[in-house]
Amino acid sequence: MTLRIVFMGTPDFAVPTLTEIVGAGHEVVAVYSQPPRRAGRGMAERKSPVHEAAERFALPVLTPKALRDADAQAVFAGHEADAAVVVAYGLILPEPVLDAPTHGCFNLHASLLPRWRGAAPVQRAIMAGDSETGVAVMRMAEGLDTGPVCIEERIAIGPDMTAGALHDQLAAIGAGLMVRALAALSRDSLDCRAQSDDGVTYARKVDKGETRVDWSQPARAVHDHIRGLSPFPGAWFDLGGERIKVLGSQHVDQAVSASPGTLIDEDGLVACADGAIRLVGIQRPGKQQMSYAEFARGARLKPGIVFS
């Protein structure tokens, strides 16, 4: 059965879900996305990835700055949607919007709820050293990611997996998961269960003030911090007043006697509080990502130097 869908999303994470919904034959009656933002050197207005994808499908796009006024809510209700699908939209949905679609609003969230409710579940799962995560379809309710979970899928987080790699996997898996949920909804067989009150954690937005590498932490924690922030916004350390991003690292399980932050060998081994990490991917300001070997040659680094 074909459903009338309002799709609400903004970043590239949401694009696969929109694509799969269109491919499944559902009638997408409107796409909501964040308004175009000025970006780049020329500060030209740039449409969101979802906005651009919707235009490729010739779908109508709305970009309200808020949904709290009566006019915006009336427009939303006028779509007469069976359901709304929300994927990283970026605006809070007030109760009149949540209640407007016949079957409600359904959110695709990149964690196994109730763990990592909030804005940055992918980054926080890796930064915390989690060994698994997943993606869930949730029937939305007022509150931050508190609604009942309808369907979910788990995946392992590899020891060297970056936030970028996990983001891409979850986007692809989540797209298929949402289409499965809509198929069940169309058959009136979608079963959603209340979240547990145990194990609730919050994935607060990553602040720029927490991106600096702290070499005084255990090596495993330093490695998780680096990969959890790769590729964006990127963990970094200071070298002679230059902010050096680390986009790839390896955890090295060996005892070292050097002070934290000390470069131990010519292959990028750096001491931490216990053990060490090896630097793999580096990005200097205004440059493309490079290997550690390329970086070390250009910076003329020698063992014994201390990164701060």
Q: Are residues 30 and 53 in the same domain?
A: yes
Q: Are residues 163 and 47 in the same domain?
A: yes
Q: Are residues 194 and 53 in the same domain?
A: yes
What local confidence, expressed as pLDDT, does residue 254 receive? 86
Whether 213 maps to a domain, the answer reads yes
- Specify the range with the lowest mean pLDDT, choosing from 36-45, 100-109, 117-126: 36-45
Last residue of a domain, one of 134, 168, 202: 202
CA dihedral 157, 154, 149, 144 (to 10 degrees): 10
Q: Which domain holds residue 292?
A: 208-299
Place of tokens 């997408």: 28
Q: Are residues 98 and 230 in the same domain?
A: no
Tell me which DSSP letter residue 235 carries.
E
Q: Are residues 180 and 158 in the same domain?
A: yes
Angle between helices 15-23 and 49-56 (to 10 degrees): 20
User: What band does 255 get if pLDDT is binned at 50, 70 and 90?
Assistant: confident
Whether 56 maps to a domain, the answer reads yes
Q: Are residues 60 and 174 in the same domain?
A: yes
pLDDT tens-place string over residues 20-40: 999 999 999 999 999 998 876
Check which CATH number belongs to the domain holding 185 and give it: 3.40.50.170
* Residue range 240-249: mean pLDDT, rounded: 96
Q: 3-class DSSP state for residue 28?
A: strand
Q: Are residues 189 and 226 in the same domain?
A: no
Whether 305 maps to a domain, the answer reads no
Whether 306 maps to a domain, the answer reads no
Q: Are residues 161 and 63 in the same domain?
A: yes
Buried-exposed string 56-93: b where 16+ CB fall within 10 A, e elsewhere:
eeebebbebeebeeeebbeebeebebbbbbbbbbebeb
Number of domains into which the chain is organized: 2
Q: Are residues 188 and 213 in the same domain?
A: no
User: What band does 178 get if pLDDT is binned at 50, 70 and 90?
Assistant: very high
What local confidence, expressed as pLDDT, does residue 253 receive? 87
Q: Are residues 273 and 191 in the same domain?
A: no
Last residue of a domain, one of 155, 187, 202: 202
* Residue range 204-208: mean pLDDT, rounded: 96
Closest-CA residue to 146 (of 136, 154, 138, 155): 138
Whether 304 maps to a domain, the answer reads no
Closest-CA residue to 260 (of 269, 250, 271, 251): 271
Q: Return mean pLDDT, the chain.
A: 96
- Could you tell me the two tokens for 161? 């997996």
Pairing relationship of beta strands 290-291 and 276-283 according to DSSP bridges = antiparallel
Last residue of a domain, one of 202, 217, 246: 202
Whether 141 maps to a domain, the answer reads yes
Q: Are residues 230 and 291 in the same domain?
A: yes
Q: Are residues 216 and 197 in the same domain?
A: no
